[in-house]
Amino acid sequence: MISVFVYGTLLVGESNHFVAAPFVQSVQSGTIFGRLFDVGPYPALLLTEGNGEQHVVGEWLEVTEEGLQAMDVLEGYYGPGASNNEYDRVWIRDVNGQREGWVYIYPTVDGLKEINGSSWKEYDASRIK
């Protein structure tokens, strides 16, 4: 199984969870060091490190190889260093250091509005649609 930390539309109950759902073996809540930014219909993640940094809450999905491939397609990830990647996929560790796996990060957050808070679900629910 492959661990992937999700924090936006791939979360259980969110609009793109159906992409991963057929391949999910387990789901656990998690938290990583980072900050979220508003890209419109989905968030961008900027990773941070160290004490006192903002946290991002999400879920650890345990998926099959096919699940990772399906998420790569959704996230526009074509491989390490590919110039046409919309998101990059990097290795991350949970804040408690007990879980690690992949996460999709946005290459740049320049010009994006930072989300005040640690939860995309809460932020998205509070927006006027």
Residues noted as catalytic: 75
Between CA 92 and CA 55 the distance in angstroms is 13
**Dist. CA 51–CA 83, nearest whole Å:** 33
Which candidate, 11, 48, 13, 51, places its Cα nearest to that of 33?
A: 48
